Amino acid sequence: MILTVTPNPAVDKSTRTTQLIPEKKLRCSDMVVEAGGGGINVSKGLQRLGAPNKALITSGGFNGKQLEACLREEGISYHTIQIPGETRENIVVLEEQSNNQFRFVLPGPTLQPEIEEDILSAIRNLPVAPKIIVGSGSLPPGFKDNFYARLVTLANELGAKTIIDCSGKPLELAVAAGVYLVKPNLNELSQLSGVSALETDQVVEAAQRLLKKGSCRMVAVSLGAQGAILVNKDQVIRVPAPTVKKQSTVGAGDSMVAGMCYQIWKNADPADIIRYGVACGTAATMNPGTQLFQRIDADRLFDWLSNQ
């Protein structure tokens, strides 16, 4: 089984309007309500790929009930850690005139340290230890920066591989704890390297320094339209992003994580891991809103990348 951990999930609400105009009543389309948050999106992707997975989430209040209802509707197995207060919500508005998306992200409730312990205890008490643990998304207010690092340490004790997709200090500490794979973008890799900015030609050297400094096994650097680079102790694998008609970039990063996780679950080689990650991430951009990817698109793009 693959376990995804989302400590700060959200109810994602999306709509569209012709044009955003200040001080005016804006007539919008029907609201689409979905379960959101990094780990939940990875579970959605894994579900489409047919990989067995469970989403571990925090949930509270009316929004929490709505979040769980969305997960049940999508057929995603989940385990809930109940919290006081309301699960956060995010609002996405598409301006049809410009095709720009405006994303309003709320912080969520402040949680006590006991919730961190509840999450880790729930993982320890699973009937069967997961093969892979994915920690993804922001940490809720009140969580310590070392939460994902503690998750990595626990996973290592259980013999599970970890994929962490976050940013800032939590990512830095997760790398030092011995994470299996991290997926920084160029800005996040710059922060991990302690510099203000990196150019594309500096990515490989920065990733190799990261491998030597920490004890992570692989660094998959997302470069957006330029594709991605996977670096481990033996290889540097560059994968271009296929050219497609893009409709939305929402969920592309989570789709990439799902694709890489799926290939790791299948014990694939590093080249297929990063190719399928790029294929799923690119396929997600072909769909509007927050729809993630379609497997048929991901498989087609993967075949194309494999024959380059």
Residues with catalytic function: 254
The amino acid that residue 196 corresponds to is: S
The amino acid that residue 199 corresponds to is: E
Report the candidate in 292, 300, 305, 302 with the shortest Cα–Cα distance to residue 48.
292
Tokens of 255: 């789709």
What is the Cα–Cα distance from 216 to 180, expressed in whole angstroms? 5
Q: What is the separation, in whole angstroms, between the first and last Cα of the chain?
A: 32
Q: What DSSP state is assigned to residue 138?
A: P
| Cβ proximity of 95 and 79 under 8 Å | no
Residue partners of 280: CB distance under 8 A and separation at least 6: 45, 255, 256, 258, 259, 262, 293, 298
| Cβ proximity of 73 and 40 under 8 Å | no
Nearest-10 crossing angle of helices 168-177, 203-213: 60
What is the Cα–Cα distance from 229 to 222, expressed in whole angstroms? 7
